[in-house]
Chains A and B, each alone.
Chain A
Amino acid sequence: MFNLLLKLGELFIEGCDEMSKEYLLLDKIEGPLIFLSHAENVSYGEVIDITLNDGSKKRGRVIRIEKDAIVAQIFEGSSGFSVVNASVKFTGKPFELPMSKEILGRTFNGIGEPIDQGGNIFSNDIYNVNGRPINPVARKYPRNYIQTGISSIDNLATLIRGQKLPIFSGNGLPHNEIAAQIVKQANISEKEGEEFAVVFAAIGVKHDDADYFRKTFEQSGVLERVVMYINLANDSIVERVMTPRCALTAAEYLAFEKNMHILVIMTDITSYCEALREISSAREEVPSRKGYPGYLYSDLASIYERAGMMKQSGGSITFLPILTMPNDDITHPVPDLTGYITEGQIVLSRELFQQNIYPPISILPSLSRLMKDGIGEGFTREDHPDVANQVFASYSKVQDIRALAQIIGEDDLSELDNQYMKFGRVFEEKFIRQSFDDNRSIEETLDLAWEILSLLPKDELERIDPEILDKYYKEEA
């Protein structure tokens, strides 16, 4: 019986050219992977077409070659496969997608196939979804800030056009709302007349979450400028690994070929990493931390580093990935490695959320690495850097005093400590808290910050330049 199968495996249909050879016997199927031997002229990363004997078609990609044996992952998953019912054809091409401006307003699945009623995309511009690394000398350093209308972001972790700034969230926290508010309020295009678009990738998220975003795009009237790549929680994990790459290929095309300003929203990176781990374990690779593969950092970098601006083009990719920290643990490999690659992070706090504060942005661990070059005189307002610095310093002191107050009681705190306690409370209630529809200008945000900082004695504000302090500090009436 085995010999018979082996012979069957060597059988192939000779077509007009070599590329149409079909292989009819698989050695092994494991998880989403298929193992096949006696394959010829297979290139690494090549896409394969599979036809099952019930006529259904699937696609996959070669991920390992050993002599004439190959391992491929099947995008749609391997259910329904038997070792003899699949016919495998090698396309000779890497995973590519056609791109044109027609993709705007369209919805695709995780591997870039249209799932709305709009039909296929036809174009001569074909792009490899893996992209190529941007040459550091071809990058343009991002310097222009994007006003999101959210005080805690604009003042303290300013978003810069071309930045990759992830939202570190937890399950149940309102990260989707914050992302939606940013889409709604942010001035994505720089000047009048410059085009913008939103690329949205749902990676292994719940149906409701994907739906929520669609509704938000609709309500903010940008739906025809949104490209969506949807891989839901119950879709294939192999597809999931391709989803961010498809979305970023679209973003790169629009930004660097068509000079548009692109905001990429991607949720949830944790699902992506878990998919990667699942495939890695099916491949029997040596695991590193928490079972994630050793190349998780490089893999995430190949996604995040595709954001930015380039000298050769007027467009930009601003990238807001969302990830849920398992157990709210910021040292978990996914947020940890992400933080090492991205240019800062916006961290959400369960504590603030439980106090019913929206947006529950935990300002101390939140950071924007690019803000230093994009704020202050000529960009936002002269006092911005000092104010941000002072808020961080004072609010961090509030944390110490709160810890003390828990032990000795608020009544025994010194006068100054009580002022700090008040500052902390008002800061959270008035500055951090704002409604979903509250769109604050940077001036409003900074004025508000001064109003609250002025609750502290003037000589406590030591991070602020004396001149600026005299100009803006509000002496109590």
Chain B
Amino acid sequence: MVELKGTITMINGPVLKAVGMTGFKMREMVMVGNKKLIGEVIALEGDQGTIQVYEETEGLMSGEIIISTGRPLSVKLGPGLIGNIFDGIERPLLEINRISEGFIPEGIGLLSVDKEKEWKVKINVSENDILEAGQCFATVEETSLITNKILVPYGIKGKVKEKKQDGTYNIEETLVTIEDDRGKTHELKLSHEWPVRIPRPVRERLAISSLLVTGQRVLDMFFPVAKGGTAAIPGGFGTGKTMTQHQLAKWSDADIIVYIGCGERGNEMTEVLEDFPKLIDPKTGKSIMERTILIANTSNMPVAAREASIYTGITIAEYFRDMGYNVAIMADSTSRWAEALREISGRLEEMPAEEGYPAYLPSRLAEFYERAGYVQTLSKEEASITIIGAVSPAGGDFSEPVTENTKRYVNAFLALDKKLAYARHYPAINWLNSYSGYVKMLGDWYQEHLDEDVLELRAKMIRILHEEDKLQEIVQLVGEDVLPDDQRLVLEISRVLRIGFLQQNAFHKEDTFVPLEKQYEMLKCIELLYDRAYAAIKRGIPISKIKDEKLYGEVTKMKYTVPNDDLSIIKEIRKSIMEYYDYLIEEYS
């Protein structure tokens, strides 16, 4: 390949213009200037090209050269990703810290997964086997949880000519050589590269059919997120977006978690790095770091790399999906990504649409969320990518462009509420204006895995909460005492629901993750309390008797008092509810 060279003519922050760019391709990765900064071509016009640079551009001069690499911005995919932390263009931050301790310098070049590290490889093809794209030809035990299945890269198929024996190899060594039907040979290694902006192919998309179990009651029972689904978590600052994302990353039952810290706080990534290795996954009993990949492009790191970090994250997710894993992506926060688009668009002097965001914001958001899905992979396995994106609306106002447009492309909307957060009700997911489009799709799943009446139960409880909201308006005007007793009961039960069920303590060892069975039994128990109390009220028993402090306290405290692995206490509570109201009805009849 001929190395093409352009010359810088304009510098404006992370955006450059250059001439002599005729042979350059759109979205091609380039090396910028004497320091060889990494950049990407984002516009071409005649001889002139526009480049966004992923590193600090201070010190760059007009007249320095731009060198082509001939390939689009790509990431290297292979063993070594899991448990690691990368910047927005897949450069390992630990390695960067070894090169330059403490601060991230510019011009350290393109690094990616460790090339030296030797992996124990099992090769499971023999000579003369016919291999197709997406077929597994070798396996590596990457962590004790995850077997990395090495697949034939897309676009390659043919007959195995040569293969190495099982043994230890690094990611650059050729393991298998295959010859396609035109007689061309291809060398297969543990790693390959993939351009981040292009979705990896699948055989077909399947209908959504299973729940992403998160152990968070308000999600699993009220606003479920499906495997292969999309969800947005919008909320002003301090409402607990990151906290919720962390909880999902810790406890959801995906096989792999890709956590993208996009334009957020440095300390949050440090916290993940310190906390996650100590946490044990309830499903496997292993450290959750053994299934987690971190992408950190904090708010003070270059803005163009922030734009790329989302794509880097989803490409890595697709890589693991193709092996047949269920992957969940936490993108915190997609607003920062949108703002990076806005910032670069502004520097390009493009015509702005709403609030300065470029007109292509909705299409970029759509492209991102559409990479989620429940699919059949090329190797005919079922796998999924679930995207959970945090949104940070300016001023906490959900009518701003990023929230509005995100709403159009996600199926679950988990709205965080400032007022709940102020009262330290966490997770501060507002049950009135959140929604999940997966409830119906998951009906069969709930029936099969939990019980037949889950959806009915859910609808009933949500109705109570909605009724409470209406009643609260009246209470705000005239006080609670003037309401009829059946309405006061709605207030009491809602209080139990809110404190005893919806509120969940991330720092309590029993409450941080709750198995589905317990969630369901808790809700059933609250339902029983409501039904029995309601029946008693209809017999004219006053609310003061109906609301027995001790009984209501027991139900509210179920989340702490009932161990996750022993639900027998709930049975006892149910029994005391029955007994109490039987006794009450008897006394009043």
Smallest Cβ distance from B282 to chain A, in angstroms? 22
Q: Is there an interface contact between A404 and B476, defined as CB atoms closer than 8 Å?
A: yes
Identify the closest chain B residue to A416 (Cβ).
B480
- Bound complex: CA of A141 vs CA of B342, how far in Å? 31
Chain A interface residue bracket vs B: 35 or more
A286-B346, A294-B356, A298-B343 known; A135-B96 Cβ under 8 A:
yes
Question: Per-residue CB proximity of A344-359 to B under 8 Å, as 1/0?
Answer: 1100000000000000
Residues of A within 8 A of B340 (CB): 298
**In the assembled complex, how far is the CB of residue A161 from the closest CB belonging to chain B, in whole angstroms?**
12
**How far is the CB of A42 from the nearest CB of chain B, in Å?**
6
Whether, in the assembled complex, A321 has its beta carbon less than 8 Å from a beta carbon of chain B, the answer is no
**Stretch of A9-17, A59-67, A210-218 lying at the B interface:** A59-67
Q: How far is B60's CA from A46's CA once the two chains are assembled, in angstroms?
A: 9
Whether A305 touches B298, Cβ cut-off 8 Å, given contacts A138-B102, A343-B265, A343-B267, is yes
Q: Does A256 contact B (CB under 8 A)?
A: yes
B343 touches A136 (CB 8 A): no
Q: Which of A119-138 contact B (CB under 8 A)?
A: 128, 130-138
A137 and B93 contact, Cβ closer than 8 Å, known pairs A67-B62, A331-B396, A331-B397:
yes
CB closest chain-A residue, reference B333: A340
Determine if B566 is an interface residue (Cβ-Cβ < 8 Å): no
B contact residues vs A (CB 8 Å cutoff): 9-13, 17, 56-63, 85, 93-94, 96-97, 101-106, 236-238, 261, 263, 265-267, 269-271, 273-274, 296, 298-303, 336, 339-340, 342-343, 345-346, 349-350, 352, 355-357, 392, 394-397, 418-419, 422-425, 475-481, 499, 507, 549, 553, 556
Alpha-carbon distance between A94 and B56 when the two chains are bound, in angstroms: 12
A69 to chain B, nearest CB (A): 9
Assess whether A194 is interfacial by the CB under 8 Å rule: no
Most A Cβ at <10 Å: residue of B9, B93, B271, B553: B271
A132 in complex: contacting residue of B105, B263, B394, CB < 8 Å: B105
Q: What residues of chain A lie closer than 8 Å to B93, measured between beta carbons?
A: 135-137
A105 sits at the interface (CB 8 A): no
Q: Is the CB of A367 within 8 A of B238?
A: yes
Q: Is the CB of A134 within 8 A of B476?
A: no
Q: Which residues of A contact B395 (CB under 8 A)?
A: 331-333, 336
Across the interface, B303 reaches (CB within 8 A) one of A285, A298, A310, A403, namely A298
Check A285–B346 contact: CB distance below 8 A: yes
Q: Closest approach, in angstroms, between the C-beta of A436 and any C-beta of chain B?
A: 27
Q: A287-B356, A288-B357 are in contact. List 11 more A-B contacts (CB 8 A).
A: A134-B103, A134-B300, A138-B97, A297-B263, A301-B299, A305-B266, A310-B102, A344-B238, A345-B238, A403-B476, A407-B477
Binds B, one of A79-87, A236-244, A388-396, A421-429: A388-396
Q: Give per-residue flags for A401-428: 1 if the beta carbon is below 8 A from chain B beta carbons, else 0.
A: 0011001100011100100000000000
A297 touches B97 (CB 8 A): no
24 contacts between A and B (CB under 8 A): A41-B61, A43-B60, A43-B61, A44-B60, A46-B59, A68-B62, A128-B58, A133-B266, A136-B266, A136-B270, A136-B273, A137-B273, A141-B270, A286-B346, A286-B349, A289-B355, A305-B300, A336-B394, A337-B394, A364-B423, A365-B238, A400-B476, A408-B477, A414-B481
**Closest chain A CB from B383 CB (angstroms):** 30
Q: Is the CB of A339 within 8 A of B270?
A: no
- Determine if A385 and B396 form an interchain contact, defined as CB atoms under 8 angstroms apart: no
Minimum C-beta distance from B373 to chain A (A): 30
B481: nearest chain-A partner, CB-CB:
A414
With A and B bound together, what is the CA distance between A340 and B273 in angstroms? 21
Given the complex, which residues of B lie within 8 Å of A341, measured CB to CB? 265, 299
> Are B62 and A135 in contact, with the CB atoms below 8 A?
no
Q: How far is the CA of A136 from the CA of B475 in the complex (A)?
A: 49
Instruction: Say yes or no: A297 contacts B339, CB within 8 Å.
Output: yes
The contact of B479 among A68, A134, A331, A412, by CB within 8 Å, is: A412
Known contacts A136-B93, A393-B423, A404-B476; is-contact A308 B57 (Cβ 8 Å): no
Q: Is A306 among interface residues, defined by CB-CB distance under 8 A?
A: yes
For A285, give the chain B residue with the smallest CB separation.
B346
**A132 and B396 within 8 A (CB):** no
Give Cα distance in the complex from A107 to B512, angstroms: 50
- Which are the 9 A-B pairs with shortest beta-carbon distances? A331-B395, A301-B299, A288-B356, A339-B237, A45-B58, A305-B300, A396-B423, A132-B103, A136-B269
Contacts of A288 in B (CB 8 A): 342, 346, 352, 355-357
A358 to B366, CA, bound (A): 50
CB distance from B387 to the nearest CB of A (A): 21
Instruction: Name the distance in Å between B560's Cβ and chain A's nearest Cβ.
Output: 8
A64 to B, closest residue via Cβ? B12
CA distance A64 to B336 in the complex (A): 24
For residue A295, CB closer than 8 A to chain B, the reply is: yes
Question: Bound state CA distance, A276 and B352, in angstroms?
Answer: 20
Minimum C-beta distance from B370 to chain A (A): 26
Majority secondary structure of chain A interface residues (helix, strand, loop or mixed): mixed
Which residues of chain A from 244 to 277 have a CB within 8 Å of any chain B CB?
256
Bound Cα distance A243, B263 (Å): 24
With A and B bound together, what is the CA distance between A417 and B479 in angstroms? 10
Report the bound CA distance from A287 to B345 in whole Å: 11
Given A41-B61, A137-B97, A132-B56 contact (CB < 8 Å): yes
With a cutoff of 8 Å between Cβ atoms, the chain B residues found around residue A339 in the complex are 236-238
The answer to whether B62 and A42 have CB atoms under 8 Å apart is: yes
CA gap between A52 and B57 in the complex, in Å: 30
Query: Is A142 an interface position by the 8 A CB rule?
Result: yes
A289 with B269: CB separation less than 8 A: no
Does any Cβ of B come within 8 Å of A312's Cβ? yes
If A136-B85, A298-B343, A404-B476 touch, whether A94 touches B507 (CB-CB below 8 Å) is no
Contacts of B394 in A (CB 8 A): 289, 331, 333, 336-337
A476 interface residue per 8 A CB criterion: no
Residues of A within 8 A of B425 (CB): 393
Q: Which of B12, B103, B263, B549 contacts A131 (CB 8 A)?
A: B103
Question: For window 70-124 of chain A, which residues contact chain B by CB distance below 8 Å?
Answer: 94
- Check: A206 CB closer than 8 A to any chain B CB: no
Contacts of B85 in A (CB 8 A): 136-137
Find out whether the CB atom of B499 lies under 8 angstroms from the CB atom of A462: yes
In the complex, which of the residues A66, A131, A308, A336 contacts B267, with contact meaning CB atoms closer than 8 Å? A308
Which A residue sits closest to B344, measured CB to CB? A294
Chain B minimum-CB-distance residue to A465? B560
A46 to B518, CA, bound (A): 63
Please name the residue on chain B nearest to A339 by beta carbon: B237
Q: Are A295 and B423 in contact (CB under 8 A)?
A: no
Q: Collect the chain B residues with CB atoms within 8 Å of residue A132's CB.
A: 56, 103-106
Cα A66 to Cα B50 with chains together (Å): 12
Q: Are B97 and A135 in contact, with the CB atoms below 8 A? A: yes
* Known contacts A131-B103, A140-B270, A141-B267; A404 and B475 CB within 8 A of each other: yes
Contact check, A340 vs B237: say whether CB atoms are below 8 A apart. yes
Whole-angstrom distance between the alpha carbons of A288 and B105 in the complex?
30
Establish whether residues B299 and A297, one from each chain, have CB atoms under 8 Å apart when the complex forms. yes
What residues of chain B lie closer than 8 Å to A42, measured between beta carbons? 61-62
Q: How far is the CA of A43 from the CA of B422 in the complex (A)?
A: 48
Residues on B with C-beta less than 8 A from A137 are: 85, 93-94, 97, 270, 273
**Interface centre among A128, A298, A367, A372, by most B CB within 10 Å?**
A298
CB-CB under 8 A from A54, the residues of chain B are: none
Does B301 lie within 8 Å of A297, measured CB to CB?
no
Instruction: Count chain B CB atoms within 10 A of each CB in A41, A138, A287, A305 and give the residue with the most.
Output: A138
Instruction: Indicate if the CB atoms of B556 and A462 lie closer than 8 Å.
Output: yes
B residues in contact with A289, CB < 8 Å: 355-356, 394
Specify the chain A residue showing the minimal Cβ separation from B106. Answer: A132
Q: Which residues of chain A are within 8 angstroms of B17 by Cβ–Cβ distance?
A: 66
Q: Which residues of B contact A285 (CB under 8 A)?
A: 346
Say yes or no: A136-B62 contact (C-beta < 8 A), given A336-B394, A340-B237, A408-B478.
Answer: no
Chain A residues with CB under 8 Å of B356's CB are 286-289, 294
Check if A432 is an interface residue, CB within 8 A of chain B: no
- In the bound complex, residues from chain B placing their C-beta under 8 Å from that of A373 are 271
Q: Is B424 touching A393 in the complex (CB atoms < 8 A)?
A: yes
Within the assembled complex, what's the spacing in Å between the Cα atoms of A393 and B503? 12
Q: Which of B261, B266, B419 has the most CB of A within 10 A?
A: B266
